[in-house]
Amino acid sequence: MSEKGPKPLVDAVAEATRTADHPGAKPARPKRGGGRASDVFGGEMRRRDLFPLLVLHLIRSEPSYGNHLIEAIESMTQGVVSVNPNTMYPLLRDLESRGMIEGDWEHPDKRTRRFYSITAEGEAEYGRLVEEIEPFLDSVIRSITLIKSEVYGD
């Protein structure tokens, strides 16, 4: 294998995925196999609080319920990111317990859908997350751009 083979691209992508706030961080070990895109980015997105950011962002405009939020995130990312209900519902309960969102049952006597709306604390957390997560999102963009440039040229 030549020096210009795949390794420099892997190193470049790993370097690009390091954020400014974690310059000494080691890159995550790449996943092998045919996993979905959400498997590749999902763990890091959860660690970086991207899902709470998206939930708060989506319910800022109108109250929403868990399955709708899952569908909205999949639609927003054109299916690249999917959120498992086993991730979404504990997240909603956590955000509610911390006062970031409040939920009301659509039909309280039947416990059908629980609609969540953002609170003042949630608005403040949303603002914090918007600032904090932008460097990570920029690193994802740089990584994908490097991959596309390497494979398809400039």
Look at residue 135 in the predicted model and tell me its pLDDT: 94
Contact 121, 100 (CB under 8 A): yes
Model confidence pLDDT, tens digit, residues 33-54: 344 444 456 567 667 789 999 9
> Is 8 within the bounds of a domain?
no
CATH number of the domain that residue 43 is part of: 1.10.10.10
The full DSSP string for 55-119 is HHHHHHHS-B-HHHHHHHHHHHTTTSS---HHHHHHHHHHHHHTTSEEEEESSTTTT--EEEEE-
pTM above 0.85, yes or no: no
Residue 22 resides in a domain: no
Strand partners, 114: 105
Residue range of the domain that includes 127: 30-135
Residue 80 lies in a domain: yes
The answer to whether residue 59 sits within a structural domain is yes
Nearest to 47 by CA among 68, 69, 21: 21
Residue 97 domain flag: yes
Structural domain tally of the chain?
1
**Residue 76 covered by a domain:** yes
Q: Is residue 43 part of a domain?
A: yes
